[in-house]
């Protein structure tokens, strides 16, 4: 396969970026999207060019480190996958592909396609946990959790923190990420003690990081590689309003 | 050098409590004066950082990823073992200990393994309290499944994402401490050297991967929880960034490296399909609970798998190991697959795979039940290969996975450098020559939550009067200069071969000569070839850009430079061990029916290697293995 790539190049967070054109040949349709970028980089290195920086690690869709906008879509055209799981068989010979970083105010570009998503860490740090020190835990089976509750908690907990939801949201909102963690911990019996403080603190931190508000377009759910449901956002809003009502 | 494992006296089951009873303590008021550096934020790193932070120590935590949650523990699929005996099927701490010792082919320390089994019980409690959503039965109690090499169900799981859920539990505990200020977090920082002052580990040199800045960090103790080095084979189940550089650089500063050639080749990964590939994705071993492994009875059978009738299939694991069948341990399953593939019965476009078939389980249990257990794995398979495993068998193949070898540590998980600890996969301790499934998440977690907090405190108790360590000490200057000169050296070569090219070549040599099967002749050849490749690397590698900026190629070059030395040591290790045990299969030492032949009389020891400079052969030290409780027998799964 032959492809025409337009890739966002940016030296560092303070520099201006621009799109650069590359044409590459000999792309095997079974290559993953990131292997295609590896191939481009090897070619660039051997011809004295500057390889493209992009984030990646596990290359099996679970670490959440990879992620680019491909023709304007987070993680590319297929549903429920990360960029590393996308394969070149989804593209046509001679196709033009536009590759950009996950753009949003709260994710400054570090270089080329790499962005800084540490805002997510600070949201978790503000309350995305159950406060239990090592050694404090009771015998595991004393906390009974029904099959249904566990499965529901798991569905929320499966978030990989890639940021596709934010990148795809026209408001640059991080509510799907934040809500998934709030939902997981607020429906489990172990998470009840901190249910009120958690939702308040996490939402406050999310706002401080410069993420936008949610206007219910549900685009985040469409692009989420883990298929996290927007119903968690409803749960987050419920938890938040519950705290406000109880305060009165 | 005399290797003292410092195993406490007394009966096996009392050793750990005896240690804890007598370990030195640090007064809570003194803890914040003591600094600990932790490299790596996987299960071992996150859990020890969080635990020490909770205790009040002054902790700094480093990872090369952009957030701690991405460490490769996240990718472990199947589960975590614990001797809870919730299934009432005869499990116990002793049984788990015995399974692990046998699984490791009698090449691990009894005391360490027993302690791991003992602490497994607490780990499940801790994880549940953190909100880890383990699979539950309808009554609300925890559920279990089986893994290879055992006959009980002791594996706890979160669908096929157990590693992710356990890691997120540890990550959240870590981030809670970051929020409280007890742990300082340095993401996108890579450790490039350990700093020794008066023979003790006193800090590290790290590179900020975003800016290229070289930084000095001092502490009273340094913990390496940097995972395994299976990525040395290039094609492996590991993440692209997984590396052996932290432990290798510690090795060059004086930490012995134990059993480096004991690498687990996992039987169920996706097969290689071409030269462009960057990794081989793992399909969890848990699939072998319900999947049956087979190849056609006829070599080069052109038919589609579903068209091959039952009587023309060879379920070779069930045939060779009737007692354990498809749940035979990993080393044995991988070797059995290789035997069939080499004999010409492999399937797939490159004839390098075997079938993993769910037809019978789907027929018996229904597709919904199978989806509930393994849904995400079937989806992953579909995404990567484009095939639907509900309709036809998966194609799987062995791939480099886990390093049982690692830094030699004593019972306290301290390396031969005082104050330098190694946890989780970075050490060699608990798995012997073959790790059992679902024991790696366990080992990483218990090292971090339940063992290191005691043993590090015991060490730090003598450091209360030391005072703050200064990064102005000449040892820091020297280490920093060395790091800078290595970076300059790599960039100045400006050759014509990419780093990945060298890494791929090294991987091919290791798969060929130091993989599933090894021979004296092959290992000799490999040592020569790796030496030549390393020389070529320092002449012809091409690292673009410079060191004062983000530079992924430079990061990779440093790691591959280390792999080119570590790979050679692996071959030395395999070359000198004239026996077969676990994952180490020397073709010269096998039984008539092709099973591993151990030599306890001569090789019942751990090989611990000392670095002897760039141009000299490494020095071998031996830690004898003493079995007081279990008598080593021929390991049989028949």
Reduce the secondary structure of A60-110 to three states and give it as a string.
CCCCCCCCCEECCEECCCCCCCCHHHCEHHHCCCCCEEEEECCCCCCCCEE
Residue A223 predicted with pLDDT over 90? yes
Two tokens at B294? 């087979």
Same structural domain, A135 and A242: yes
Distance CA B479, CA B527 (A): 29
User: Hey, what's the torsion of the CAs at A7, A11, A15, A18, to 10 degrees?
Assistant: -20
Q: pLDDT, tens digit, for every residue of B459-488?
A: 999 999 999 999 999 999 999 999 999 999
- Collapsing DSSP to helix, strand or coil, B565 comes out as helix
pLDDT score for B148: 80
pLDDT score for B589: 97
Whether residue A6 contacts residue A103, with contact meaning beta carbons closer than 8 Å, is answered with: no
Mean pLDDT of B200-205: 98
pLDDT score for A247: 80
| Least confident among A61-70, B370-379, B525-534 | B370-379
pLDDT score for B385: 86
Q: How far is A246 from chain B (nearest CA, A)?
A: 25
Please report, for residues B150, B271, B299, the alpha-carbon distance to residue B43 in angstroms, rounded to integers and kept in the order given: 24, 28, 44
List CB contacts (< 8 A) between A118 and chain B: 66-67, 187
pLDDT score for A31: 94
Distance CA B590, CA B19 (A): 40
**Parallel, antiparallel, or unpaired: how do β-strands B35-39 and B58-62 relate?**
parallel
- What is the domain-level CATH number for residue A121? 1.10.1060.10
Residue B375 predicted with pLDDT over 90? no
pLDDT band at B311 (very low <50, low <70, confident <90, very high): very high
Distance CA B213, CA B64 (A): 14
- Give percent above pLDDT 70 in chain A: 100
Same structural domain, A7 and A83: yes
Backbone angles phi, psi at B374, to 5 degrees: -130, 15
pLDDT score for B636: 85
pLDDT score for B146: 87
pLDDT score for B439: 97
Rg (chain A; Cα; Å): 20
Q: pLDDT, tens digit, for every residue of B45-86?
A: 999 999 999 999 999 999 999 999 999 999 998 899 999 999
Could you say which of A110, A140, A168 is where a domain stops?
Answer: A110
Same structural domain, A121 and A242: yes
pLDDT score for B155: 96
pLDDT band at B275 (very low <50, low <70, confident <90, very high): confident
> What DSSP string describes B193-208?
EEEEETTEEEEEEEEE
Interface probe for A, chosen from B71, B87, B132 (most Cβ of A below 10 Å), is B132
DSSP count for chain A of H helices, then E strands: 8, 7
List CB contacts (< 8 A) between A82 and chain B: none
Two tokens at B534? 């390393």
List domains and CATH numbers for chain B. Answer: 267-400 (3.90.700.10), 474-599 (1.20.58.100)
pLDDT score for B298: 95
Q: Do B125 and A139 touch (CB under 8 A)?
A: yes
Distance CA A169, CA A165 (A): 6
Please report, for residues A70, B199, B262, B524, B620, the alpha-carbon distance to residue B611 in angstroms, rounded to integers and kept in the order given: 47, 16, 18, 19, 9
Minimum CA–CA partner of A118 in chain B: B67
pLDDT score for B521: 98
List CB contacts (< 8 A) between A143 and chain B: 128-129
Minimum CA–CA partner of A46 in chain B: B496
CB-based contacts of B13, cutoff 8 Å, min separation 6: B93, B94, B114, B118
CA atoms within 13 A on the CB side of B129: 16
Q: Do A130 and B130 touch (CB under 8 A)?
A: yes
| Least confident among A21-35, B31-45, B279-293 | B279-293
Same structural domain, A101 and A142: no
User: Hey, what's the torsion of the CAs at B494, B498, B501, B502, to 10 degrees?
Assistant: 40
CB-based contacts of B525, cutoff 8 Å, min separation 6: B513
- What is the domain-level CATH number for residue A64? 3.10.20.30
Looking at the DSSP bridge assignments, the partners of residue A9 are: A18
Same structural domain, A11 and A52: yes
Interface probe for A, chosen from B44, B120, B128 (most Cβ of A below 10 Å), is B128
Same structural domain, A37 and A68: yes
Q: Do B185 and A121 touch (CB under 8 A)?
A: yes
pLDDT band at A20 (very low <50, low <70, confident <90, very high): very high
Tell me the ipTM for this assembly: 0.98
List CB contacts (< 8 A) between B498 and chain A: 42, 45-46
Mean pLDDT of A227-238: 97
Mean pLDDT of A116-124: 98
Rounded (5°) CA angle B414-B8-B420: 5
Backbone angles phi, psi at B347, to 5 degrees: -120, 175
Distance CA B172, CA B170 (A): 5
pLDDT score for B376: 82
Q: How far is B497 from chain A (nearest CA, A)?
A: 7
What is the H or E stretch that residue B623 is in?
strand B619-624
Minimum CA–CA partner of B495 in chain A: A46
pLDDT score for B560: 98
Q: How far is B453 from chain A (nearest CA, A)?
A: 10
Same structural domain, A151 and A189: yes
Same structural domain, A80 and A123: no
pLDDT score for B78: 83
Residue B26 predicted with pLDDT over 90? yes
Mean pLDDT of chain B: 96
pLDDT score for A79: 92
Taken in order B166, B167, B168, B171, the sign of the CA dihedral is positive
Mean pLDDT of B119-148: 95
Structural domain of A104: 3-110
Q: Which of B173, B239, B545 sits opposite A58 (nearest CB)?
A: B239
Could you say which of A56, A89, A110 is where a domain stops?
Answer: A110
Q: Do A157 and B74 touch (CB under 8 A)?
A: no
Please report, for residues A156, B611, B615, the alpha-carbon distance to residue B536 in angstroms, rounded to integers and kept in the order given: 50, 22, 15
pLDDT score for A62: 96
pLDDT score for B525: 98
Residue recorded with tokens 């949610």: A214
pLDDT score for B471: 98
pLDDT band at B1 (very low <50, low <70, confident <90, very high): confident
Residue B629 predicted with pLDDT over 90? yes
Q: Do A62 and B164 touch (CB under 8 A)?
A: yes
Domain count, chain A: 2
Task: Label residue A162 left, alpha or beta by phi (over 0 means left) and psi (-120 to 50 means alpha).
Answer: alpha
Q: How far is A55 from chain B (nearest CA, A)?
A: 9
Distance CA A200, CA B477 (A): 47
Same structural domain, A159 and A87: no
Q: pLDDT, tens digit, for every residue of B563-604?
A: 999 999 999 999 999 999 999 999 999 999 889 999 999 999
Q: How crowded is residue B525: how many other Cβ atoms within 10 Å of its Cβ?
A: 15
Same structural domain, A82 and A179: no
Mean pLDDT of A94-119: 97
Same structural domain, A88 and A171: no
List CB contacts (< 8 A) between B544 and chain A: 44-45, 48-51
pLDDT score for B229: 98
pLDDT score for B638: 86
Q: Do B498 and A111 touch (CB under 8 A)?
A: no
Q: Do B240 and A57 touch (CB under 8 A)?
A: yes
Could you say which of A89, A110, A131 is where a domain stops?
Answer: A110
Residue A248 predicted with pLDDT over 80? no
Residue B383 predicted with pLDDT over 90? no
- Collapsing DSSP to helix, strand or coil, B51 comes out as helix
What is the H or E stretch that residue B272 is in?
none
Same structural domain, A75 and A150: no
Q: Which of A50, A130, A160 sits opposite B131 (nearest CB)?
A: A130
Two tokens at A248? 């009165």
């Amino acid at each position: 396969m032959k492809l025409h790539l337009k890739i966002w190049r940016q030296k560092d967070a303070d520099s201006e970026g621009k799109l650069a054109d590359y044409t590459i040949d000999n792309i095997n349709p079974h290559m993953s999207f990131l292997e295609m970028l590896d191939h481009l980089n090897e070619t660039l290195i051997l011809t004295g060019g500057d390889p493209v920086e992009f984030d990646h690690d596990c290359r099996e869709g679970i670490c959440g480190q990879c992620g680019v906008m491909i023709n304007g879509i987070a993680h590319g055209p297929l549903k429920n996958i990360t960029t590393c799981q996308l394969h070149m068989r989804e593209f046509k010979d001679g196709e033009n592909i536009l590759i950009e970083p996950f753009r949003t105010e709260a994710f400054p570009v570090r270089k080329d396609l790499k962005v800084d998503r540490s805002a997510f860490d600070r949201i978790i740090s503000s309350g995305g946990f159950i406060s239990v020190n090592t050694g404090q835990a009771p015998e595991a089976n004393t906390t009974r959790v029904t099959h249904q509750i566990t499965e529901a908690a798991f569905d929320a907990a499966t978030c990989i923190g890639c940021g596709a939801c934010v990148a795809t949201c026209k408001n640059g909102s991080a509510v799907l990420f934040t809500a998934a963690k709030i939902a997981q911990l607020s429906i489990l019996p172990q998470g009840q003690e901190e249910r009120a403080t958690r939702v308040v603190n996490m939402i406050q931190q999310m706002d401080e990081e410069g993420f936008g508000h949610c206007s219910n377009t549900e685009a985040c759910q469409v692009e989420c590689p883990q298929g996290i449901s927007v119903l968690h956002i409803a749960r987050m809003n419920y938890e938040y309003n519950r705290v406000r009502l109880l305060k009165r | 050098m005399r290797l003292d494992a410092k195993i406490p006296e007394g009966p096996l089951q009392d050793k750990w409590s005896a240690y804890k009873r007598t370990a030195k303590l640090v007064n809570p008021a003194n803890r914040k004066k003591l600094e600990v550096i932790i490299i790596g934020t996987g299960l071992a790193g996150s859990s020890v950082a969080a635990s020490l932070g909770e205790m009040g120590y002054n902790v700094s935590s480093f990872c090369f990823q952009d957030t701690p949650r991405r460490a490769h523990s996240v990718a472990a699929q199947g589960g975590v073992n614990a001797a809870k005996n919730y299934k009432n099927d005869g499990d116990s701490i002793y049984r788990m200990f015995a399974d692990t010792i046998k699984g490791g082919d009698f090449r691990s320390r009894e005391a360490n393994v027993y302690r791991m089994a003992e602490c497994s019980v607490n780990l499940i409690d801790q994880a549940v309290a953190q909100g880890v959503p383990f699979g539950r039965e309808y009554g609300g109690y925890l559920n279990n499944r089986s893994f290879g090499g055992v006959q009980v169900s002791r594996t706890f799981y979160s669908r096929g994402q157990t590693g992710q859920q356990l890691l997120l539990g540890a990550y959240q505990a870590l981030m809670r401490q970051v929020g409280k200020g007890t742990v300082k977090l340095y993401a996108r920082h890579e450790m490039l050297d350990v700093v020794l002052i008066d023979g003790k580990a006193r800090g590290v040199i790290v590179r900020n991967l975003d800016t290229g800045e070289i930084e000095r960090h001092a502490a009273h103790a340094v913990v390496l929880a940097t995972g395994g080095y299976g990525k040395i084979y290039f094609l492996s189940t590991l993440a692209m960034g997984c590396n052996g550089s932290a432990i290798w650089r510690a090795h060059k500063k004086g930490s012995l490296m134990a059993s480096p050639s004991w690498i687990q080749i996992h039987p169920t990964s996706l097969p290689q399909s071409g030269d462009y590939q960057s990794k081989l994705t793992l399909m969890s071993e848990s699939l072998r609970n319900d999947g049956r492994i087979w190849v056609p009875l006829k070599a080069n059978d052109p038919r589609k798998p579903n068209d091959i009738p039952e009587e023309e299939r060879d379920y070779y694991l069930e045939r060779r190991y009737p007692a354990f069948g498809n749940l035979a341990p990993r080393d044995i399953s991988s070797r059995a697959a290789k035997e069939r593939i080499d004999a010409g019965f492999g399937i797939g476009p490159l004839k390098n795979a075997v079938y993993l078939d769910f037809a019978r389980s789907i027929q018996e249990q229904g597709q919904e039940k199978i989806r509930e257990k393994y849904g995400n794995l079937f989806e992953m398979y579909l995404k990567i290969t484009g095939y639907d495993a509900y309709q036809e068998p998966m194609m799987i193949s062995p791939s480099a996975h886990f390093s049982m070898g690692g830094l030699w540590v004593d019972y306290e998980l301290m390396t031969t450098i005082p104050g330098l600890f190694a946890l989780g996969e970075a050490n060699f301790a608990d798995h012997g020559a073959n790790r059992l499934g679902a024991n790696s998440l366990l080992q990483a977690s218990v090292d971090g939550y339940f063992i290191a907090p005691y043993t590090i405190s015991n060490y730090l108790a003598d450091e209360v009067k030391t005072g703050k360590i200064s990064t102005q000490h000449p040892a820091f200057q020297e280490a920093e200069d060395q790091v800078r000169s290595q970076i300059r050296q790599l960039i100045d070569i400006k050759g014509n071969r990419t780093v990945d090219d060298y890494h791929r070549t090294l991987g091919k040599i290791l798969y060929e000569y130091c993989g599933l099967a090894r021979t004296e002749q092959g290992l000799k050849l490999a040592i020569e070839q790796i030496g030549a490749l390393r020389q070529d690397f320092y002449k012809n590698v091409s690292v673009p850009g410079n060191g004062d900026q983000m530079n992924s190629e430079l990061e990779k070059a440093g790691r591959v430079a280390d792999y080119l030395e570590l790979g050679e040591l692996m071959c030395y290790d395999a070359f000198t061990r004239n026996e077969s045990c676990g994952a180490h299969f020397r073709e010269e030492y096998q039984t008539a029916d092709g099973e591993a032949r151990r030599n306890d009389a001569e090789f019942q020891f751990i090989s611990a290697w000392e670095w002897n400079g760039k141009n000299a052969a490494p020095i071998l030290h031996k830690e004898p293995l003493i079995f007081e409780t279990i008598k080593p027998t021929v390991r049989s799964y028949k």
